[in-house]
Amino acid sequence: MKKIFFLLTVQLIVFNSFAQNIDRSSNGKIIKTIKPKIPAKGAFYTGNYRNMFAEAGYDKVSIANKLEKIWQQLFYGDSINQRIYYQVGADEAYIYDTGNKDVRSEGMSYGMMICVQMDKQQEFNKIWKWAKMHMQHQSGSAKGYFAWQMNRDGTIMDPGVASDGEEYIVTALFLAANRWGNGNGIYNYSKEANEILELTMNKDKGNNKPITNLFEVDKKQITFVPTEVGRVFTDPSYHLPAFYELWSRWATKNSSFWKHCAPTSRKMFHKFANNKTGLMPDYANYDGSPKNIGGHGDFRFDAWRCIMNMAVDYAWFKKSGNELAQIRKIHSFFIREGIKNYGNQYTLDGTKLDTPHSAGLVACNAVGALASKDKSAWLFVDDFFNTPIPTGQYRYYDGLLYFMSYLHLSGNFKVYNPN
């Protein structure tokens, strides 16, 4: 009898603890009643990556099943409305921008990152080989860089460079080396990552005009495009301080430089952001002011990713309270706009420019919950979890951000350290 009483007491304590986190209305809807609790140390140091969906009250089996569904749909779904991954021959594959009808270094880099996080080495190798064999410049002043825009047949559409592609490719290669070990040739992942960093940061030596370094050395900031024209400003969504922290530990050269780039980016987020809304522009000058080229001084598609970049950096390393404050400001703005119907483009001061409630922005905003102490963060997690996996012609960008955000929020986007 005492044993039964003890078990009932334990069950009641567990139930009451859980009940403090969630409640249910008369129609069964989950209602969060407490604030998210940010761990005392960053996930990089503890190895504990939060499952925000589980913290929000969703069943872990359902969470895992949905992750598998995302993988199957975006990588192996029907070729007309679902997949973005297309295999070529026996050992190559590309990520297809179904809206613009091209292959981009951005998409290839995201595809590689998704594969290493999903423990899909076969698909990772196929995407990497296509990028290496077709996209990467093997000679000339742009040697080491990747052409940002390709045709599906592997021919170059535009030989220019989009700096964020290199950032994700390098980090995905380092993580692949740490998770799976290095192989031979192009599958010596860490060697390839180091070569990309070394080649793209040595363009100031010798005559490589108009190609320049990936980062502005004196500013310690990523360039918008590493050319004489594109180097004079940046893209706030290209700022990835969490990645620079990893490079400072794993790269064979310039570790001190990468170590300084991380805090620089953390400080810049505040300078990029509108003081009222927290929104950041697509393009910005190195002092943080908007760069008004073709409307990109506004909050548009690139800028969606800024909140994800800040949240992940804070969740992993917890080094900047500035990121926490900016995320709170952005969340507050979108709550005022309406959690279910905010638009996807705005002026920095909050005037709506377009109305779609885009899955990619919904996903990135939800990642902000990783660095939030406010109950309102659960609204963004719920909105994302209940948003369908993107399909149709414009599934590429929305789908990739959706996939990476789901990995982050389910505790499946992790740092794999050497050994």
* C-alpha distance from residue 145 to each of 167, 245, 293, 393 (Å): 11, 21, 24, 29
User: How do 22-24 and 30-32 pair as beta strands?
Assistant: antiparallel
pTM for this prediction? 0.93
Q: What is the DSSP string of 131-194?
A: IIIIIB--SSTTTT-B-SEE-TTS-EEE----HHHHHHHHHHHHHHHHHH---SGGG-HHHHHH
Q: Is 302 designated active site? A: yes
Q: Is 119 designated active site? A: no
pLDDT in the model for residue 21: 47
Low-confidence stretches of the chain (pLDDT beneath 50): 1-29
Q: What whole-number distance in Å separates Cα of residue 122 and Cα of residue 90?
A: 11
pLDDT in the model for residue 392: 97
pLDDT in the model for residue 419: 79
Cis, bond preceding 388 (omega within 30 deg of 0): no
The set of residues, in sequence order, having a beta carbon less than 8 Å from that of 48 and lying 6+ positions away, is 39
CATH 1.50.10.10 fits 43-409, yes or no: yes
Cβ–Cβ < 8 Å for 162, 106: yes
Q: Which of 97, 106, 235, 382 is catalytic?
A: 106
CA–centroid distance for 72 within its chain: 20
pLDDT in the model for residue 69: 98
Q: Which of 97, 166, 245, 302 is catalytic?
A: 302
The set of residues, in sequence order, having a beta carbon less than 8 Å from that of 338 and lying 6+ positions away, is none
Q: What angle do CA 178, 184, 188 make, to 5 degrees?
A: 35
In terms of C-beta density within 10 A (0-12 exposed, 13-18 middle, 19 or more buried), how is residue 309 classed?
A: buried
Q: What whole-number distance in Å separates Cα of residue 78 and Cα of residue 25?
A: 39
Give the three-class secondary structure for 57: coil
pLDDT in the model for residue 34: 86
Q: Which two tokens stand for residue 127?
A: 């995407």
